[in-house]
Amino acid sequence: MPGKNTVKVYIKEGFYHIYNRGVEKRTIFENDQDYKVFLKYLKEYLSPPQEAQNLKKTVIFKGGSFKGIPRQPKNYYNKIDLLAFCLMPNHFHLLIKQHSNNAIENFMRSLATRYSLYFNKKYDRVGSLFQDHYKASLIIEDPYLLHLTRYIHLNPSEFTNDLRNAYSSYANFLGLRKASWVKPDTILSFFNKKILPELKKINTYKDFVESYKKNSATILGELTLE
């Protein structure tokens, strides 16, 4: 069963659904550049240290540039695995496995701060960008992990039929995009073993996401964004 999102119990090697939205449900990704900056920060945090150091530190946008936090960003390679993600106009979803007890708290605090600084600078605003503290649900059963990735990857269907090119990890799961900082293998391994009842008549992850009859949001219950 999933853990309640109002109680954060951080454990070593735990799987977590992390999600948050803009304050007052406001848009937090106004255009393609905003999505790409957020993804750039994820890549910097989760890539091997040498690879992360080679990434450009300055973000250029119309009317100026933004260098982010003026210190070297922390690196969470081997501390956090990002299994799946989806960025929506006013919220985001991350499925994370953490390898130490406090990695998620530090990671999320830094990510939210960096992106808020970028966003407020670019759009000449002040104040909080995100709604309260992020939500975190501990996932302790494999079927919930599987359905959570499906729920995450179907989120963009609200406004597009082109799920493969959405700002999500779906293309990584289909083998259409490679990124060292996205790790879908834990979920994809379920389809090799065929040990879950959900997969008895399903051959591929694509079939599971696009053709499975049951509503994953209903199965997940409190794991979905309220």
Taking the model in full, what pTM does it have?
Answer: 0.86
The region, left, alpha or beta by phi > 0 then psi within -120 to 50, assigned to residue 23 is: beta
Tens of pLDDT, residues 13-42: 999 999 999 999 999 999 999 999 999 999
pLDDT class for 6, splitting at 50, 70, 90?
Answer: very low
* Whole-number pLDDT of residue 122: 97
Nearest to 156 by CA among 81, 83, 90, 82: 90
The distance from CA 140 to its chain's CA centroid, rounded to whole angstroms, is 18
pLDDT over 60 (residue 56)? no
The Cα–Cα gap between 8 and 111 comes to 18
| Mean pLDDT confidence for 53-67 | 58
- Per-residue b or e along 87-113, where b marks 16 or more CB atoms closer than 10 Å to that residue's CB: bbbebbbbbbbbeeeebbeebbebbbe
Taking all residues of the chain, what is their mean pLDDT, rounded to a whole number? Answer: 86
The distance from CA 36 to its chain's CA centroid, rounded to whole angstroms, is 13
Q: Please, what are the domains in the chain?
A: 15-221 (3.30.70.1290)
Cα 57 to Cα 65, 76, 171, 219: the distances in Å are: 11, 17, 26, 41
pLDDT over 60 (residue 131)? yes
201 vs 207, which has greater pLDDT?
207
111 vs 159, which has greater pLDDT?
111
* Whole-number pLDDT of residue 212: 86
Count the residues in the chain.
226
The Cα–Cα gap between 111 and 107 comes to 6
Tokens of 136: 């975190």
Q: Mean pLDDT check: name the lowest of 9-13, 67-71, 103-107, 168-172.
A: 67-71
* Whole-number pLDDT of residue 72: 62
Q: DSSP 3-state assignment of 95?
A: strand
Q: Which residue has the tokens 């969470």?
A: 76
Tens of pLDDT, residues 134-153: 999 999 999 899 999 999 99
55 secondary structure, DSSP code? S
Amino acid identity at 135:
K
The Cα–Cα gap between 108 and 76 comes to 11
Calculate what percentage of the chain has a pLDDT beyond 90: 64
CB count within 10 Å of CB 48 equals 12
Taking a C-beta distance cutoff of 8 angstroms, is the pair 209, 215 a contact? no
User: Kind of pairing, strands 15-21 and 135-139?
Assistant: antiparallel
